[in-house]
Structure 1
Amino acid sequence: MSKFTKLCRESSRHSSGSSSFVCGICADRRPSKKSFAIKGCTHSYCSDCVRQYVTCKIEDRITRIYCPVSGCHGSLKPEHCRSILPSKVYDKWGDALCEAMISARDKFYCPFKDCSALLVKGTDYRDIFESECPMCHRLFCAKCKVPWHSEITCREFQKLHKDEREREDIMLMQLAKKKKWARCSKCKFYVERTEGCLAMRCRCGHTFCYNCGAYVSDHYCTNCKH
């Protein structure tokens, strides 16, 4: 028999007929008035440990909380624990339970990391692109689920690599388009042609056509015939 199991049994035995009991979690002897019984089983622990136990579970985004004893079917419910939980933890538990009831395909979160508010898709969400978060009031793209990218279309955005989707990256792309810069097809570095033929040699050593981006081995591009 493990030490934890012994403590749990001793906890249950003392809590029923003694003025004190041994908590099966912290192993301290506590007055019986500090005992908190788990619903659906015979285990009891001190209210401080139960409070900390529940708080840790909620922080880990676990909404179904069971008795700490492995295999035990006793459970903890928000209404049962309300008297020992801080209001912030109790409210967070309730919000998490509500969120868990929403299908994963029907919910997403505000793309701004300092907000991350839960958002629910409407029936016409497929036709909506530019949207405003009701919590932080900033614009985002409902289709791409990122901060609003006014400079490029959704199709252009989704073609970008994940490390090229920041606002600064998009602004650089727009500048390159305006200046008619070409991009190395190997290292993705932008280059500007000032004179000479269309065969460009990038700093990475790759040679490509400034007009179409195809690889060239000499000064003539067989792809675009320049």
Structure 2
Amino acid sequence: MFRDHAFCSYCISKYVGSEINKSVHDVKCPYPECSVVLKPQFLRTILPSEVVEKWESRRCEYSIVGSQRTYCPFKDCSGLLVNESEKVVTSAECPYCHRLFCAQCRVPWHGNMSCGEFQRKNKDPDAKFFKLAKEKNWQKCVECSMYVQKLDGCEHVTCRCGYQFCYICGKTWDYGHECKSNSILERIQSAYYSYTR
């Protein structure tokens, strides 16, 4: 029971699991007009342990400042890494998959090349990626710098780091956000004129 709102253990478990899978870190009571934030420690007895672990991990991840947070560049890992020192870190070993990567370039370790040499040598693949991102209108998360692709649904996007933003204009998502992007208006008008001709 959450204040005056009672829910069965099964429904709360499914609800919290669903919110965690959407990268929500502050899970609110499922009652529509309620704004009480639920805490993992109070639901341990009714939630599966893996849901509680994932929830606490999300809350911990969100509490880390974006500039200190990075992710392992290997697609089969993507583990969260935190730079806790003041030093600039280049070569790093992922504590999850134990592979080396460059923390500055955010790519697998590039051997005896400096970051500048590596970026100059590999300029074309980056250029191709950024060209594709521009063509597909992918948005870049301002919190963790990862690119996000939206396949369908509304413009409200939650990045894997938990940051919520508008997919159209890139601004922080607030309840009632109305995107005022001219490009969207132009696309709608263009589609309308194409349809009516």
Name the TM-score class by shorter chain.
Answer: 0.5 to 0.7
Corresponding residue for 2:56?
A: 94
The DSSP-based 3-state class of the residue aligned with 1:50 is helix
CA change 1:74–1:124 in 2 (3 A) is closer
Q: Say if 2:86 is the partner of 1:85.
A: no
- d(CA) in 1 for partners of 2:107, 2:27: 33
TM-score (norm 1): 0.51
The DSSP-based 3-state class of the residue aligned with 2:7 is strand
Larger strand share, 1 or 2? 1
Q: Say if 2:105 is the partner of 1:149.
A: no
- d(CA) in 2 for partners of 1:70, 1:157: 51
Q: Does the CA-based 8 Å contact 1:107-1:119 persist in structure 2? A: yes
Q: Does the CA-based 8 Å contact 2:72-2:80 persist in structure 1? A: yes
Unaligned runs of 5+ in 2: 130-197
Q: Say if 2:115 is the partner of 1:115.
A: no
The structural deviation recorded for 1:108 is: 0.6
**Aligned equivalent of 1:60, options 5, 18, 22:** 22
The structure, 1 or 2, with the larger RCO (C-alpha pairs under 8 Å, 6+ apart) is: 2
| Superposition RMSD in Å | 2.0
CA change 1:133–1:164 in 2 (3 A) is farther
The structural deviation recorded for 1:120 is: 0.9
Q: Does the CA-based 8 Å contact 1:143-1:154 persist in structure 2? A: yes
Please list, as runs of the form range in 1=range in 2, the aligned pairs for 1:58-207 lying within 5 A after superposition: 58-126=20-88, 128-150=89-111, 152-159=113-120, 160-161=123-124, 162=126
The structural deviation recorded for 1:73 is: 2.0
TM-score (norm 2): 0.58
- d(CA) in 2 for partners of 1:71, 1:125: 47
Corresponding residue for 1:175?
A: none
- d(CA) in 2 for partners of 1:114, 1:151: 25
State, as a whole percentage, how many aligned pairs show the same letter: 43
The DSSP-based 3-state class of the residue aligned with 1:140 is strand
- d(CA) in 1 for partners of 2:128, 2:110: 12
Deviations 1:167-197 (A, max 9, x none): xxxxxxxxxxxxxxxxxxxxxxxxxxxxxxx
The DSSP-based 3-state class of the residue aligned with 2:75 is coil
Q: Does the CA-based 8 Å contact 2:17-2:51 persist in structure 1? A: yes
Deviations 1:58-105 (A, max 9, x none): 111111111223331233210111111111111111111111211111
- Counterpart of 2:107, as a letter, is V
- Counterpart of 1:146, as a letter, is V
- d(CA) in 2 for partners of 1:142, 1:73: 39
Q: Does the CA-based 8 Å contact 1:125-1:142 persist in structure 2? A: no
User: Which structure has the larger Rg?
Assistant: 1
**Aligned equivalent of 1:47, options 2, 5, 9:** 9
